[in-house]
Amino acid sequence: VRGIVEQIIHGLRVFQRAGMVHRDLKPENVMITTAGQVKLIDFGTVAVRGLAEIRSAIEEDCPVGSVNYIAPEYVLDGVAVMQSDLFSLAVMVYEMLTQAQPFKMDQVHRRGARSISEWSYQALTEHRPDLPRWLDLAIQKGCHPDLKQRQQAYSEFWNDLLKPNPDLIRSFKRRPLLQQNSGRVWQVISFGLLIVVIAQGYFLATG
């Protein structure tokens, strides 16, 4: 996975230096040659700095790209920056490792997004408990719904994928338990409620 991601980042840096944002980064637009070279394709949705002020003959009534990979700020406000492509990349990394998506987007597909709260991250370790928490934190930061909370450079994201980031780990430990592992907390609560219901039924049955 790191080998693929490293090459994707090289391509995205070329876009960044040219003042461009891909805006439709997803698995279908990443091609791997028989020699193992990764190539980004489909530049039809690329945003170019300096051309945004020019009124296009084709108005975009809704954001282009796949909602499963597209950044929230683009869906909600039509804003596309470097961190928007980073979001898409982080989602792809998550998917490569788990064969699943970090966000459940059913409601967004049905009625559209209303706020960044529509993007609720599912811990990587829920699918792959064998993977370290620090890797999960790196990916979670990369696809954070708030672009200001993401890594501010591709190099930061890459470094976070290579080794534990002490700042991310400290920040995680300071979170409330519900935010650290919401899935496990709700499982415990549900189990506790089930025990209560069973106990009440037992006492009612025995008088």
| SS3 category, 187 | helix
In the chain, what is the greatest distance between 2 CA atoms, to the nearest angstrom? 78
Strand partners, 38: 32
| Lookup: tokens for 162 | 């290579």
Q: Which of 24, 85, 136, 160 is catalytic?
A: 24
Q: Alpha-carbon distance 133 to 154, whole Å?
A: 20
Task: Kindly report the backbone phi and psi dihedral angles of residue 20, in degrees, each rounded to the nearest multiple of 5, phi listed first.
Answer: -125, 155
| 106 included as an active-site residue | no
Within 8 A by CB and 6+ apart from 101, the residues are 68, 91, 94, 95
So which residues are the catalytic ones? 24
